[in-house]
Amino acid sequence: MNAIERTVRQFHESWDLRDPERGVAVIAPDYRFEDVARGETQIGPEGYRADYERWRAAFPDGEVKVVNVFTSSDGGDDGDSGWAVVEFVNRGAQTGPLRSSLGDFPPSGRRMEARYCSVMRVAGGMVVEARDYYDSASIARQLGLVS
């Protein structure tokens, strides 16, 4: 496993381990995250923490399981800078309120499972940029928010 993969795995596995500070440890101060499906952006470690808490409130039993990681180094000597694509599965029961730019949704008690893809840029062993892509309509259907 190379340095870029270690960094992005630590980022994603922190969600499953219920340890947001483990993820924060590899986030640059000027980190910029875009949730493409929701049209939302979070900045820096505080944005990461807020997004983690929002998700954990909606899915207390939520799991994030990394399936594949593909990396490309920028050619630097340390090998700790470049790009990663992370495929992962997000699953859980929505037993808490789900808050997003699309609206606030009361607990449904229903389970969802969705495949995600993160495109991440790592510089000096820190995540500086990330975008998540996933099918939000599938999640909404599974939670009974749309038919």
Domain span at 28: 3-91+106-142
pLDDT at 77 over 80: no
Q: How is residue 27 written in tokens?
A: 């986030």
Number of domains observed in the structure of the chain:
1
Cα separation, 37 vs 34, whole angstroms: 9
Asked whether residue 122 is domain-assigned, the answer is: yes
Tens digits of per-residue pLDDT, 33-44?
A: 999 998 899 999
- The whole-chain average pLDDT of the chain stands at 93
- Residue 35 belongs to domain with CATH number: 3.10.450.50
Residue % of the chain over a pLDDT of 90: 82
Asked whether residue 47 is domain-assigned, the answer is: yes
Average pLDDT over residues 106-115: 97
Asked whether residue 101 is domain-assigned, the answer is: no
Asked whether residue 97 is domain-assigned, the answer is: no
Asked whether residue 68 is domain-assigned, the answer is: yes
Q: Give the amino acid at 67.
A: V
Tens digits of per-residue pLDDT, 4-20?
A: 999 999 999 999 999 99
Place of tokens 């990663």: 84
Tens digits of per-residue pLDDT, 47-63?
A: 999 999 999 999 999 99
Could you say which DSSP state residue 88 is in?
Answer: E
Cα 112 → chain centroid:
16
Asked whether residue 99 is domain-assigned, the answer is: no
Task: Say which residue, 24 or 38, is predicted with more confidence.
Answer: 24
Asked whether residue 8 is domain-assigned, the answer is: yes
Asked whether residue 96 is domain-assigned, the answer is: no
Name residue 63's beta-bridge partners.
91
**What is the per-residue pLDDT for 76?**
62
How do beta strands 126-134 and 27-35 pair? Answer: parallel
Q: Which helix (H) or strand (E) holds 76?
A: none
